């Protein structure tokens, strides 16, 4: 068996009650009991457990919510003997990956994701926009559509998730125009994402600037294991580099496919999606020669622990 990496999901992986089964694991309870205290979000634990979904989906709530549930799940795995040798996280998930790699303390990640969510929500309120997932179209074709549509306003590539799956982000009119152009170029599906703003686009410039002071005030440590950056699809070499890249990440495309190729070239062939949802599992299963596990419910978590210990 090759090396094991933990992967952490981003927004759109949430669901009301996503923490429910974790309360049966003592190693998760420490995080779950302190959700409101660690994040500073009033009644966030209740929003996670009971909803409503519209409130949970709001980015200033969902970012710290997914982070805390992911870290609680990670605690369960490590306590059971499932220990990673490397890690990465998709967008928001990069904060949990940095905790896993020893770059951030859990308390700091909880606060930073709350601040990040608040800043991004403020940007979204001032500069409304959205995101579209494009299925069955090449990156090159998507880029051509985005360039043409950008004459109407800001729109760009937000995520390169896999071969044939690209996400675009921007203001409503140019985004919708880009979606139409992508259909004309042969995209099998153009799917609006359940997000409240145009993440990873120039519309988030103010959020990136606002996050800078919070990042400067936070303690960053040297990585204890390989951790791959969304921005560069390369290893993060230092705490200072991690800090700089987290700021850039808000307005830069998530190079997920290239990040996973970096882990594969580094000898990783076993991957666990740590946290809610199964988005990353679906993307990883398209890669040859890898084993992929989940933790999205009790059955998946128990199977992962049983197989990897």
104-136 residue pLDDT tens: 999 999 999 999 999 999 999 999 999 999 999
Q: Which pairs count as long-range contacts for 172-178, CB under 8 Å and 24+ apart, including other chains?
A: 172/128, 172/129, 172/130, 174/149, 174/150, 175/129, 175/130, 175/131, 175/132, 175/149, 177/148, 177/149, 177/152, 178/132, 178/145, 178/146, 178/148, 178/149
Residues 222-273: tens digit of each pLDDT: 999 999 999 999 999 999 999 999 999 999 999 999 999 999 999 999 999 9
Number of domains forming the structure of the chain = 2
Answer whether residue 172 shows pLDDT above 80: yes
Q: What is residue 196's predicted lDDT score, i.e. its pLDDT?
A: 84
Q: What is residue 309's predicted lDDT score, i.e. its pLDDT?
A: 95
Query: Do 116 and 11 reside in the same domain of the chain?
Result: yes
Query: Do 98 and 10 reside in the same domain of the chain?
Result: yes
Query: Do 36 and 145 reside in the same domain of the chain?
Result: no
Mean pLDDT of 37-64: 94
Q: Using 50, 70 and 90 to split pLDDT, how confident is the model at 194?
A: confident
The answer to the question of residue 90 being in a domain is yes
The answer to the question of residue 236 being in a domain is yes
pLDDT above 90: percentage of residues in the chain? 94
Q: What is residue 169's predicted lDDT score, i.e. its pLDDT?
A: 98
Alpha helix ranges (H) inside 150-217: 172-184, 205-217
Domain end (from 148, 173, 192): 192
Query: Do 47 and 76 reside in the same domain of the chain?
Result: yes
Q: What is residue 266's predicted lDDT score, i.e. its pLDDT?
A: 96
Residues 153-168: tens digit of each pLDDT: 999 999 999 988 999 9
Output the pTM of the full model: 0.96
Cβ distance 190 to 132 under 8 Å? yes
Query: Do 136 and 218 reside in the same domain of the chain?
Result: no
Answer whether residue 62 shows pLDDT above 70: yes
CATH number at residue 296: 3.40.366.10
Q: Using 50, 70 and 90 to split pLDDT, how confident is the model at 149?
A: very high
Query: Do 109 and 214 reside in the same domain of the chain?
Result: yes
Domain that holds residue 149: 129-192
Q: Which residues are catalytic?
A: 91, 200
Q: What is residue 286's predicted lDDT score, i.e. its pLDDT?
A: 82
Query: Do 33 and 145 reside in the same domain of the chain?
Result: no
The answer to the question of residue 197 being in a domain is no
The answer to the question of residue 113 being in a domain is yes
Strands (E), 210-293: 227-228, 268-273, 291-293
Q: What is residue 1's predicted lDDT score, i.e. its pLDDT?
A: 62
Domain end (from 192, 217, 235): 192
Angle at 86 between CA 100 and CA 291, to 5 degrees: 115
Query: Do 78 and 179 reside in the same domain of the chain?
Result: no
Q: What is residue 21's predicted lDDT score, i.e. its pLDDT?
A: 98
Query: Do 284 and 301 reside in the same domain of the chain?
Result: yes
Please state, in angstroms and rounded to a whole number, the distance separating the CA atoms of residues 186 and 138.
9
Query: Do 91 and 154 reside in the same domain of the chain?
Result: no
CATH number at residue 163: 3.30.70.250
Query: Do 30 and 15 reside in the same domain of the chain?
Result: yes
Query: Do 55 and 118 reside in the same domain of the chain?
Result: yes
The answer to the question of residue 61 being in a domain is yes
Q: Which two tokens stand for residue 98?
A: 């940095």
Residues 271-306: tens digit of each pLDDT: 999 999 999 999 998 888 999 999 999 999 999 999
Q: What is the DSSP letter of 232?
A: T
Domain end (from 137, 162, 192): 192
Mean pLDDT computed over every residue of the chain: 96
């Amino acid at each position: 068996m090759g090396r094991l990496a933990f992967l952490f999901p981003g927004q759109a992986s949430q669901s009301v009650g996503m923490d429910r089964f974790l309360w049966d694991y003592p190693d998760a309870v420490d995080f779950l009991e302190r959700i409101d205290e660690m994040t500073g979000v009033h009644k966030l634990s209740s929003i996670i457990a009971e909803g409503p979904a519209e409130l949970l989906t709001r980015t200033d709530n969902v970012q710290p919510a997914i982070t805390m549930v992911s870290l609680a799940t990670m605690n369960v795995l490590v306590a059971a003997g499932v220990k990673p040798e490397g890690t990465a996280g998709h967008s928001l998930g990069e904060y949990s990956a940095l905790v896993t790699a020893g770059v951030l303390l859990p308390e700091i990640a909880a606060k930073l994701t709350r601040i990040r969510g608040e800043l991004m929500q403020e940007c979204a309120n001032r500069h409304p926009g959205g995101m579209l997932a494009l299925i069955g179209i090449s990156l090159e074709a998507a880029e051509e559509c985005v360039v043409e549509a950008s004459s109407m306003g800001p729109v760009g590539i937000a995520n390169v998730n896999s071969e044939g799956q690209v996400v675009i982000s921007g203001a409503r009119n140019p985004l919708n125009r880009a979606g139409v152009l992508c259909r004309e170029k042969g995209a099998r599906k153009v799917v609006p994402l359940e997000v409240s703003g145009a993440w990873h686009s120039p519309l988030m410039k103010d959020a990136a600037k606002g996050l800078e002071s919070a990042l400067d005030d936070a303690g960053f440590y040297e990585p204890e294991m390989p951790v791959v950056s969304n921005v560069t699809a390369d290893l993060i070499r230092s705490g200072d580099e991690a800090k700089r890249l987290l700021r850039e990440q808000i307005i830069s495309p998530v190079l997920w496919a290239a990040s996973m190729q970096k882990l594969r070239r580094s000898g990783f062939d076993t991957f666990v999606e740590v946290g809610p949802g199964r988005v990353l599992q679906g993307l990883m299963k398209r890669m040859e020669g890898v084993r992929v596990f989940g933790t999205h419910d009790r059955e998946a978590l128990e199977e992962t622990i049983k197989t990897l210990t």
